Amino acid sequence: MIISFEGGEGTGKTTCVDHLCSHLNGKGLPWLSLREPGGSLLSEEIRALFLHRDMDAMTELLLVLASRARNISSIIEPGLAEGKIVVMDRFVDSTLVYQGLMGGLGVDRVREIMEITGTWLEPDLTCVLDVPAEVSLARIRPGDRFESRDMTYHRNLRDAFLSVCTQKRHRVIDAARPADTVVGDVIRIVDTLLGAHFR
Ligand code: TMP
28-54 pLDDT, tens digit per residue, is 999 999 999 998 899 999 999 999 999
CB 126 near ligand 1, within 6 Å: no
Q: Which residue has the higher pLDDT, 136 or 65?
A: 65
pLDDT greater than 90 at residue 181: yes
CA distance 156 to 43: 27
What are the two backbone dihedrals, phi and then psi, of residue 21, each rounded to the nearest 5 degrees?
-65, -40
Residue 184: enclosing H or E segment and its boundaries?
helix 179-197
What is the pTM assigned to this prediction? 0.96
For each of the domains in the chain, give its residue range(s) and CATH number, in order of start: 2-194 (3.40.50.300)
Q: Which atom of ligand 1 is nearest to the CA of 36?
A: 20
- pLDDT of amino acid 199: 62
Q: Which residues pair with 5 in a beta bridge?
A: 89, 127
* Ligand 1 center from residue 37 Cα (angstroms): 6
| Distance of alpha carbon 132 from the chain centroid | 18
* Ligand 1 center from residue 24 Cα (angstroms): 25
- pLDDT one-digit tens code per residue, 15-33: 999 999 999 999 999 999 9
CB 153 near ligand 1, within 6 Å: no
The answer to whether the CB of 124 falls within 8 A of the CB of 92 is: no
CB 64 near ligand 1, within 6 Å: yes
